[in-house]
C-alpha cells in the first residue's frame, strides 16, 4: 500500500509504518499543500495520513473516493465532511485519548498565564519596561478555591478538572448533553445548565467538539452572562467562539481575561487586538504539541493505516461504514 503524509510524521509513527512495509511518501516542503495539489497527489496513493489543515469536503472526497483510509493526525474531525465520507465509503480515522493530558495542560497553562498577565509581562521585559515597578500596576487575579466551569466534560475536560482540583482546590461545574457520572463521583463535578455555567464560572474552559450546534456559542449573549472577573479558555476550536464578540467583551470588561490555543480564523493575524491585551494569552494551536503526545498520535494514526492495509477493522474509525 502506498500512503501519502501531508507532513513529516513524528518518528515513532513513521518507524511503525516502515516496519509494516508500507510505502510512505511525506510532504517535506515547509509550505501548505493547496487543495488542488493534495487532490493531485492523492491520485497516486492508496491512503492519506492528514497532518495538515486541508479541508476534506464532499468535492475532495468525490475526487479521492479510491482512498482506502484517511487517517487524521488529530482527535478533532471537523475538517472532514463525515456524511459525505460515509456516503462515498471513504473510511476516516482519528487519534482519541492520547492527547488529553497535553491538551488539558495547555488549558491549565493558558488559565494561569491569563490570570497573571504572564504573556503581557514577558513582553514588557522585551520592550525594556522592567525598570520601574509599582505595587498597584499590572496585577493579576488568583485561581485558588475558585470555580472551574467546563463546557464539554469528556477526556480532556476531565484531566483539566483533575489538574485544577489538585493544584488550586477548585470547585468544578460542567455542562454536557448527558451526565458524566465518573466526574461527578470521582471529582465532585456538578452538572449545571448552560446559563448557570456562564454565571457561576470563574474560569470557563471549552472542551467540546466543533459541530454546527456548538459553532459560535460563545458570542456576546453568552459573554454578557459571565462574571466580570471571569476568564474564558478555549483549547477546542476557535469557531466555537465569536472572536469579534470576545474582543468587545474584553475591551468593555464584560469578562476579565481569556486564554486561547485556538482562534478564529487560524492562523491569527499578528495585528489582532487580543495580542495586545494584558489579560489575554494566545498560543498557536499547540495543545498536543509534545514529543510524547505527537509520537503517540503518530503511532495511532499509523495503526489505523496498517489495519486498512491488512483489511482489518480500523481501531479509531469515525465514519460509520
Ligand atoms: C486535535 O487533535 O484535534 C488538535 O486540535 C489538532 O488539530
Question: What is the mean pLDDT of the segment spanning 250-255?
Answer: 98
| From the candidate CATH numbers 2.60.120.10, 3.30.565.10, 3.40.50.720, 3.30.1490.20, the one assigned to the domain spanning 100-282 | 3.40.50.720
> What's residue 134's pLDDT?
92
> What's residue 133's pLDDT?
87
Question: What is the mean pLDDT of the segment spanning 292-311?
Answer: 97
SS3 label, residue 159? helix
227 burial type by CB count under 10 A (0-12 exposed, 13-18 middle, 19+ buried): middle
pLDDT in tens, 169-227: 999 999 999 999 999 999 999 999 999 999 999 999 999 999 999 999 999 999 999 99
> What's residue 312's pLDDT?
97
Please report the atom of ligand 1 found closest to the CA of residue 237: 5
**Structural domain spans, the chain:** 2-96+290-309, 100-282
The residues near 321 (Cβ < 8 Å, ≥ 6 apart) are 86, 89, 91
> What's residue 83's pLDDT?
97
76 Cβ closer than 6 Å to some ligand 1 atom: yes
What is the average pLDDT value for the chain, to the nearest integer? 97
Distance 110 CA to ligand 1 centre (A): 17
For residue 114, pLDDT beyond 80? yes
Question: What is the mean pLDDT of the segment spanning 264-292?
Answer: 98
Q: To which residue does cell 499509523 refer?
A: 302
Superfamily for 2-96+290-309?
Answer: NAD(P)-binding Rossmann-like Domain (3.40.50.720)
Determine which residue's CA is closest to atom 6 belonging to ligand 1: 74
238 Cβ closer than 6 Å to some ligand 1 atom: no
99 Cβ closer than 6 Å to some ligand 1 atom: yes
For residue 321, pLDDT beyond 80? no
- Cα separation of 71 and 92, whole Å? 6
Determine which residue's CA is closest to atom 1 belonging to ligand 1: 74
**Which residues are identified as catalytic?**
237, 266, 285
Confidence at 162, pLDDT banded by 50, 70, 90: very high
Determine which residue's CA is closest to atom 3 belonging to ligand 1: 76
Amino acid at each position: 500500500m502506498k500512503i501519502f503524509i501531508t507532513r513529516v510524521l513524528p518518528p515513532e509513527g513513521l518507524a511503525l509504518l516502515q516496519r509494516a512495509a508500507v510505502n510512505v511518501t511525506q510532504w517535506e516542503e515547509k509550505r501548505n499543500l493547496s487543495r488542488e495539489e493534495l487532490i493531485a497527489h492523492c491520485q497516486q496513493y492508496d491512503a492519506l495520513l492528514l497532518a495538515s489543515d486541508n479541508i476534506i469536503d464532499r468535492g475532495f472526497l468525490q475526487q479521492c473516493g479510491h482512498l482506502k483510509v484517511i487517517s487524521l493526525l488529530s482527535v478533532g474531525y471537523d475538517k472532514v465532511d463525515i456524511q459525505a465520507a460515509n456516503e462515498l465509503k471513504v473510511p476516516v480515522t482519528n487519534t482519541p485519548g492520547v492527547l488529553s493530558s497535553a491538551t488539558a495542560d495547555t488549558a491549565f497553562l493558558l488559565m494561569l498565564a491569563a490570570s497573571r498577565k504572564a504573556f503581557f509581562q514577558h513582553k514588557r521585559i522585551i520592550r525594556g519596561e522592567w525598570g520601574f515597578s509599582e505595587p498597584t500596576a499590572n496585577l493579576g487575579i488568583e485561581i485558588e478555591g475558585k470555580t472551574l466551569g467546563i463546557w464539554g466534560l469528556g477526556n480532556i475536560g476531565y484531566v483539566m478538572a483533575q489538574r485544577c482540583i489538585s493544584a488550586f482546590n477548585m470547585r468544578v461545574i460542567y455542562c454536557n448533553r448527558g451526565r458524566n457520572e465518573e466526574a461527578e463521583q470521582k471529582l465532585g463535578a456538578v452538572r449545571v445548565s448552560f446559563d448557570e455555567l456562564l454565571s457561576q464560572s470563574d474560569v470557563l474552559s471549552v472542551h467540546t467538539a466543533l459541530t454546527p450546534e456548538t459553532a459560535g456559542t460563545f458570542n456576546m449573549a453568552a459573554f454578557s452572562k459571565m462574571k466580570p472577573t471571569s476568564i474564558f479558555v478555549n483549547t477546542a476550536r476557535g469557531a466555537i467562539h465569536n472572536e469579534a464578540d470576545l474582543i468587545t467583551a474584553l475591551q468593555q470588561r464584560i469578562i476579565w481575561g481569556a486564554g486561547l490555543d485556538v482562534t478564529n480564523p487560524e492562523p491569527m493575524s499578528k495585528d489582532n487586538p487580543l495580542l495586545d491585551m494584558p489579560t489575554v494569552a494566545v498560543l498557536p494551536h499547540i495543545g498536543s504539541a509534545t514529543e510524547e503526545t505527537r509520537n503517540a498520535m503518530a503511532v495511532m494514526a499509523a495503526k489505523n493505516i496498517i489495519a486498512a492495509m491488512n483489511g482489518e477493522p480500523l481501531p479509531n474509525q469515525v465514519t460509520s461504514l
